[in-house]
Structure 1
Amino acid sequence: MAYRIVVDSCCDLPEDYRRDEHFKVVPLTLIVDDTEIIDDETFDQLDFLRRVKESKKGIHSACPSPQRYMDEYETDEATDIYVITLSSKLSGSYNAAIVAKDMYEDEGGTNKVHVFDSRSAAAGEVLIAFMIERAINEGLKFEEVVEKVEDFRAKMGTYFVLETLEVLRKNGRLSNLKAALVSALNIKPVMAGDDGSIVKLGQTRGMDKALIQMVDHIKKDTANPETKTLVIAHCNAPARANKVKELVESIMPIKDVVIVDTAGVSSMYAYDGGIVVSV
């Protein structure tokens, strides 16, 4: 069967996947003060980070319209459409994709469409995309692919450490006082995704210790690592991403490690120096 994998722009696909005709990216819009930035191939990470640093009013994102998703469903090039969005608890992207599916079917569309709520972001969406492609290459039918990937998503783990909590402060998710105290004490929270929400696993002083603590959690939570692919998404921090790769490979027999740089939405969440890991 011909297929298409549609992802929102929080999915930090490797470059070779972005060039693959089977993959389509639906961009979100980033708003920094009064400036709108489309999260597509024109996104300039360094310029965006500069704008965020200088921001006075805050940073937000706007999800794609249902019509933008529907444009990807209305194709003669594929009969099986798989859609991956960032967590429905973090964005309206998932709901927009679902509304588009309903619109498409109401108008008599015949392609099969399934929307996956990643319950994650960034590296987590990438892993789900990898799993969909793998299941398709195994020759599974549409319904079998959906079942296998839904099961995989339920067991997937996403972990992250941020260099700074300034963006969380600027978009109103953290008080000024708490952000200032964390910054002054050089405290780095170690966090994870829990069914699409964000939870704190622990905290420590200094980034190096936080990364070690994060990797320890990954080892504890990952069964049969020799069969797993691990994705590391970093925001302007390639050396740090490689350090995490080395830490992981030193304590567990992981099958494969893929490192990607964050695009717009992930750069907004992770900010400069942030690391997101999914396995």
Structure 2
Amino acid sequence: MEYKIIIDSCGELTSEMKASGIYTSIPLYITVGERNMVDDETFDQQEFLRAAAATKECPRSSCPSPDQYLESYRGNEKRVYGVTLSANLSGSYNSAMLAKTMMEEQEPDKQVYIFDSRSASVAQTLIGLKIRECEEKGLSFEEVVTEVEAYIEGQNTYFVLEDLETLRKNGRLTGLKMLVASALNIKPVCGATAEGTIFQLGQGRGINKALQKMVQYLTTEVINPTEKVLAISHCNCLERAESVKKMILEKVAVKEVIILDTRGISTMYASDGGIIAVV
């Protein structure tokens, strides 16, 4: 293999991506109560959700070390691409960049580039797939970087969660207007800014109304939808994800749809019942 793609574990991988031999997942870590969990193939979503519900303490995450990234860059591949969750939400990007500097000192002939997704979850999935598409078209390293950075600029991320507490307590909602009308079952519709921070688009009375508004935003704002892949991740709510897919496809036609269950970090922040849509 001439290249490989490293994605931190906030990004979900499809079965085909796992089997391809092209993708490597670098785990983040979760602390819930007195338990420490690794966000790798051993992560049990149901076990985590039970543990989180059983403790009053807010779950916490920690990013991979530069040494972990450095080790993942090693190998015979000439080109290495990394995709991390937003640098404004995690230290994963900084760890990956530090490892890049170390690798360039040790193996100056190896080309390494780290993409800041400026998002999370299935946004990273789509970026990983875009990198592979560019490589398979025979683009040069520099051309891949340019095309994928442009793709990231054009991505739109939307999400509706049942509970924003984990995001709030972990300081991920800076600048977001927090709603005090929780007794009224108000659910915010949120998105990612161009800088990779979270902002509120709107709100709905109840999860279904909020999801309908999310679909409205997505289908109104998407450009050239027939050329786009729609990715939906859900936390323990496949039926809800399928419903969102149906609502979107009733309004616009897309190239392809991917639905994935959230990995550990995305599960931690999305909480039970959360939906993330990226196009």
The reply to whether TM is greater than 0.5 is: yes
Q: What is the Cα deviation at residue 172 of structure 1?
A: 5.7
Closer/same/farther in 2, CA of residues 51 and 171 from structure 1, 3 Å limit = farther
Are the counterparts in 2 of residues 59 and 170 from structure 1 also a CA contact under 8 Å? Answer: no
Q: What is the Cα deviation at residue 109 of structure 1?
A: 4.1
Give me the whole-angstrom Cα distance separating, in 2, the residues matched to 1:108 and 1:263. 32
- Number of matched residues? 276
Unaligned runs of 5+ in 1: none
Tell me which residue corresponds to 1:278: 278
Greater mean deviation of Cα atoms: 120-129 or 105-114: 105-114
Are the counterparts in 1 of residues 8 and 84 from structure 2 also a CA contact under 8 Å? Answer: yes
- Please give the TM-score of this superposition, normalised by the length of structure 1: 0.94
Tell me which residue corresponds to 1:125: 124
Tell me which residue corresponds to 1:144: 143
1:124-273 matched pairs, under 5 angstroms: 124-171=123-170, 181-195=180-194, 196-273=196-273
- Please give the TM-score of this superposition, normalised by the length of structure 2: 0.94
Give me the whole-angstrom Cα distance separating, in 1, the residues matched to 2:85 and 2:107. 27
Give identity over the alignment, percent.
45
Are the counterparts in 2 of residues 182 and 188 from structure 1 also a CA contact under 8 Å? Answer: no
Closer/same/farther in 2, CA of residues 182 and 130 from structure 1, 3 Å limit = farther
Give me the whole-angstrom Cα distance separating, in 2, the residues matched to 1:25 and 1:269. 19
Greater mean deviation of Cα atoms: 178-187 or 206-215: 178-187
Aligned-partner residue type, residue 61 of structure 1: S
Give me the whole-angstrom Cα distance separating, in 1, the residues matched to 2:73 and 2:267. 27
Q: What is the Cα deviation at residue 182 of structure 1?
A: 4.1
Are the counterparts in 1 of residues 172 and 198 from structure 2 also a CA contact under 8 Å? Answer: no
Are the counterparts in 1 of residues 89 and 172 from structure 2 also a CA contact under 8 Å? Answer: no
2:31 aligned with 1:31? yes
Greater mean deviation of Cα atoms: 1-10 or 146-155: 1-10
**Local SS of the residue matching 1:219:** helix
1:45-93 deviations in Å (ceiling 9; x for gaps): 00101111122222111000001000011111x1110100000000000
**Local SS of the residue matching 2:216:** helix
Give me the whole-angstrom Cα distance separating, in 1, the residues matched to 2:101 and 2:172. 32
1:138-185 deviations in Å (ceiling 9; x for gaps): 1111111110000000110000000122323554667xxx98944321
2:10 aligned with 1:10? yes
Give me the whole-angstrom Cα distance separating, in 1, the residues matched to 2:236 and 2:163. 13
Unaligned runs of 5+ in 2: none
1:192-222 deviations in Å (ceiling 9; x for gaps): 0002000000011011111110011011111
Aligned-partner residue type, residue 194 of structure 1: T
Q: What is the Cα deviation at residue 19 of structure 1?
A: 2.3
2:37 aligned with 1:48? no
Q: What is the Cα deviation at residue 254 of structure 1?
A: 1.4
Tell me which residue corresponds to 1:71: 71
**Local SS of the residue matching 2:20:** coil
**Local SS of the residue matching 1:190:** strand
Aligned-partner residue type, residue 272 of structure 1: D
Closer/same/farther in 2, CA of residues 126 and 14 from structure 1, 3 Å limit = same
Greater mean deviation of Cα atoms: 211-220 or 104-113: 104-113
Closer/same/farther in 2, CA of residues 52 and 172 from structure 1, 3 Å limit = farther
Greater mean deviation of Cα atoms: 136-145 or 92-101: 136-145
Give me the whole-angstrom Cα distance separating, in 2, the residues matched to 1:107 and 1:270. 39
**Local SS of the residue matching 1:19:** helix
